[in-house]
Amino acid sequence: MVKADRWIGLLFALFSVYICVESLRLGLGSYQQPGPGLISFGAGVILGVLSLVLVFVAFFGRTIERETWHNRGQIVMVFLAILGFTLLLEWLGFILAAFLLVWFLLKVVERRGWGFSVGVALAVAGASYVVFDLWLSAQLPAGILGS
């Protein structure tokens, strides 16, 4: 891991303590009647655990050299991809727009293979449909697929 991960992990650990303290001040409530601080307390605990894992791995893990984006064109392509996603969301629909976004990021920006890019894009679009449409009953734009 990179040396900066140690400091970032410690920063997030301190931030998670702050979140938990403020959540306790709001009140956690009971099992039957959860209080306003319950969800933020849970998020603070999860953040704290993950940040401590990051610190532990940063101190005791093997140091690796990370690949960075030196090409500003990649940053511009990611920005334009997200902009295109938001502009095409209503017309194409959520599933198709999500598929195209993930495919573009993997195939064009990261230069992965066709099979990998299409497979991951299908998995992400499918999982998004299951989670948001079927489980959560969110009203996602249907777009040209219409239903």
Q: Which of 68-72, 103-107, 109-113 has the lowest mean pLDDT?
A: 68-72
3-state helix, strand, coil in the chain (%, to 5): 75, 0, 25
Q: What is the pLDDT of residues 42-83, one digit of tens each?
A: 999 999 999 999 988 888 877 666 666 567 888 899 999 999
Give the per-residue pLDDT at 2.
65
Give the per-residue pLDDT at 66.
62
Residue in 107, 52, 28 with CA at minimum distance from that of residue 74: 107
Rounded Cα gap, residues 125 and 54, in angstroms: 29
- At 14, the pLDDT band (50, 70, 90 cuts) reads very high
Q: What is the pLDDT of residues 23-49, one digit of tens each?
A: 999 988 887 888 888 889 999 999 999
The pTM assigned to this predicted structure is 0.58
- At 144, the pLDDT band (50, 70, 90 cuts) reads confident
Domain positions in the chain: 3-60, 72-145
Helix axes 94-104, 72-92, angle to 10 degrees: 160
Which range, 68-77, 116-125, 131-140, has the best average confidence (pLDDT)? 116-125
Structure tokens belonging to residue 59: 């101190």
Rounded Cα gap, residues 112 and 99, in angstroms: 15
Mean pLDDT of 114-124: 93
Residue in 103, 93, 146 with CA at minimum distance from that of residue 124: 103
Strand partners, 29: 34
Distance between terminal CA atoms of the chain?
47
Average pLDDT score, the chain: 87
